[in-house]
């Protein structure tokens, strides 16, 4: 049996695995990547970020068509089916796979398709789909195997009307009524997608506020816009049981309520993909959510083994996973690319879109920091009016004495893009990270970025 020798073996080809593999390969290491799909890209490309964002984009286009009076000249509002919008997501996935496959080839990284597990600290066994067993030896291993939806034992996911965020991508019809259990980021995003398709959605939240980590004004705005789009949000609810019927599902809540729908989408938690890794063979422990613990260098409790991405838990974002992977490889190759990935913006692709960076009002008030607020409402901005996108607001929080920008919170059109202007300014030192930048800089007109200038003037006007 042949043994392939590598400097670094990366388990998983999602953003964390790709970031790790590319950095190690560029530093001259001989690298292999193992993934248990037959294509690269990880869950991010095949089941998570990419399909959900492509679905959302198509739904937004449909909503534009149905609400912009200009389109009435070519036809009445119409509804598209979920399988219709899924087709465009599949096209994007295929393009992503092609691009990403090219990156591995160009960087001379070997890709093995199969399930990888540790025989010992330096030996990975890969069971390929055809049953062949490949053995890879490595000086260092990076675990980047991601996560999957958490499936509690008392929910029957084999029932044809019960889905999770992976299996929803096999839905072959458009339900009239859908229960989404779990109102975190994934649940709220799917509530936007389905309600945009005209589905009546019951969004079940275990807490009393949607996405409570957000600035409360933005969380309130999200609730308002979901509700106006036919999402019934039910706060402080927990399931007792889920009853599958031939033609639907009944959700029994601990509060005594019963909700009936054509289907249920479970969006409550995720678990790390560590169960098939043979971690018991090498003494790496996982927590109750199957996640591996790492130090600030992304090193596990075994010296030559690192981990990055969803498999280590927070923040479980593709954006952070890619940087964590790169940083883990940076720890190994020592090329100056190691960093702790903690300055992560929030990007939530609900309808409306949400993005933020830095502190929110609640945090600043609690810390007794004397801040002031500057706002720009999209309904008054030329670019938003031209784009038929009146919903939204940019809010800048700044220190009332030093004018330092402390937080940027935004919802509406292009929110996840324009937040990066605020992020760039907040990362500057001295006067460069103050509100003055926005009033002393000429912005293209009309742009959404101009919201910074409007919000900055609004904020300065509040000072005395
Ligand atoms: C519906 C949804 C929407 C999301 N939207 C966003 C978003 O808009 N923005 C954002 O930043 N993040 C988003 N995320 C989160 C994002 O997808 C994850 O944070 C990201 O995929 C994590 O990347 P990763 O590299 O850690 O792992 P993954 O992308 O999960 O990839 C891990 C890969 O390893 C493979 N694997 C597992 N076990 C083994 C094994 N034993 N051997 C070999 N291979 C193995 C897996 O099959 C998978 O291919 C979303 C997630 C979901 C579910």
For the Cβ of 42 lying below 6 angstroms from any atom of ligand 1, the answer is yes
**pLDDT of the residue at 430:** 83
For the Cβ of 316 lying below 6 angstroms from any atom of ligand 1, the answer is yes
Q: Is 36 annotated as a binding residue?
A: yes
Ligand 1 atom 7, closest CA = 49
**Which domains occur in the chain, in start order?**
3-148+271-333 (3.50.50.60), 162-268 (3.50.50.60), 352-461 (3.30.390.30)
Find where tokens 């007792």 sit.
Answer: 240
Whether pTM > 0.95 for this model: the answer is: yes
Atom of ligand 1 nearest to the CA of 126: 42
144-173, pLDDT tens digit by residue? 999 999 999 999 999 999 999 999 999 999
How many Å lie between the centroid of ligand 1 and the Cα of residue 371? 38
Average pLDDT in the 385-413 region? Answer: 97
The Cα–Cα gap between 56 and 90 comes to 13
Average pLDDT in the 27-38 region? Answer: 97
For the Cβ of 215 lying below 6 angstroms from any atom of ligand 1, the answer is no
Ligand 1 atom 53, closest CA = 48
More confident residue, 464 or 42: 42
**pLDDT of the residue at 82:** 96
With cut-offs at 50, 70 and 90, classify the pLDDT of residue 79. confident
How many Å lie between the centroid of ligand 1 and the Cα of residue 405? 33
Q: Is 330 annotated as a binding residue?
A: no
**pLDDT of the residue at 178:** 98
For the Cβ of 45 lying below 6 angstroms from any atom of ligand 1, the answer is no
* Averaged pLDDT of the chain: 97
349-366, pLDDT tens digit by residue? 999 999 999 999 999 999
For the Cβ of 355 lying below 6 angstroms from any atom of ligand 1, the answer is no
Say if residue 116's pLDDT is above 90: yes
How many Å lie between the centroid of ligand 1 and the Cα of residue 403? 39
For the Cβ of 272 lying below 6 angstroms from any atom of ligand 1, the answer is no
Average pLDDT in the 202-208 region? Answer: 97
More confident residue, 430 or 65: 65
Average pLDDT in the 48-52 region? Answer: 98
**pLDDT of the residue at 1:** 65
Q: Is 41 annotated as a binding residue?
A: yes
The pLDDT > 70 percentage for the chain reads 100
292-333, pLDDT tens digit by residue? 999 999 999 999 999 999 999 999 999 999 999 999 999 999
Q: Is 459 annotated as a binding residue?
A: no
For the Cβ of 16 lying below 6 angstroms from any atom of ligand 1, the answer is yes
């Amino acid at each position: 049996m042949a043994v392939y020798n590598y400097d670094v073996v990366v388990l998983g080809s999602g953003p964390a695995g790709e970031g790790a593999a590319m950095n190690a390969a560029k530093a001259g290491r001989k690298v292999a990547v193992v993934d248990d799909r037959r294509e690269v890209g990880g869950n991010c490309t095949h089941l998570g970020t990419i399909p959900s964002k492509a679905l959302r984009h198509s739904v937004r286009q449909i909503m534009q068509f149905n609400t912009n009076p200009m389109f009435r000249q070519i036809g009445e509002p119409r509804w598209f089916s979920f399988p219709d919008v899924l087709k465009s997501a599949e096209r994007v996935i295929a393009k992503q796979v092609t691009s990403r496959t090219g990156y591995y080839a160009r960087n001379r990284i070997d890709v093995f398709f199969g399930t990888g597990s540790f025989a010992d600290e330096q030996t990975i066994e890969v069971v390929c789909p055809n049953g062949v067993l490949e053995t890879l030896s490595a000086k260092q291993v990076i675990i980047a195997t991601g996560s999957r939806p958490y499936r509690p034992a008392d929910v029957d996911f084999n029932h044809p009307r019960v889905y999770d965020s992976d299996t929803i991508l096999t839905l072959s019809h458009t339900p009239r009524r859908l229960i989404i259990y779990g109102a975190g980021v994934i649940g709220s995003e799917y509530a936007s997608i389905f309600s945009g398709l005209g589905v009546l959605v019951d969004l079940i939240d275990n807490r009393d506020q949607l996405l409570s980590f957000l600035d409360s004004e933005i969380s309130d705005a999200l609730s308002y816009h979901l509700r106006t789009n036919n999402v019934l949000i039910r706060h402080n609810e927990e399931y007792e049981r889920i009853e599958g019927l031939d033609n639907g599902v009944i959700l029994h809540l601990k509060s005594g309520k019963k909700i009936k729908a054509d289907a249920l989408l479970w969006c409550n938690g995720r678990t790390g993909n560590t169960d098939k890794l043979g971690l018991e063979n090498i003494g790496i422990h996982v927590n109750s959510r199957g996640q591996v613990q790492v130090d600030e260098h992304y090193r596990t409790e075994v010296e030559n083994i690192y981990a990055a991405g969803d498999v280590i838990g927070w923040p479980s974002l593709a954006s952070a996973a890619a940087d964590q992977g790169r940083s883990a490889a940076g720890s190994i190759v020592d090329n100056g690319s190691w960093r702790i990935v903690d300055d992560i913006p929030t990007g939530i692709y609900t309808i409306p879109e949400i993005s933020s960076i830095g502190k929110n009002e609640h945090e600043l008030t609690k810390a007794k920091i004397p801040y002031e607020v500057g706002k720009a409402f999209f309904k008054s901005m030329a670019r938003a009016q031209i784009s038929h996108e009146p919903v939204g607001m940019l809010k800048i929080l700044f220190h009332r004495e030093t004018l330092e920008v402390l937080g940027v919170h935004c919802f509406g059109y292009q929110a996840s893009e324009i937040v990066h202007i605020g992020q760039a300014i907040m990362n500057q030192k001295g006067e460069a990270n103050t509100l003055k930048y926005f009033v002393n800089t000429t912005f293209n007109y009309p742009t959404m970025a101009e919201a910074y200038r409007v919000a900055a003037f609004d904020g300065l006007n509040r000072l005395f």
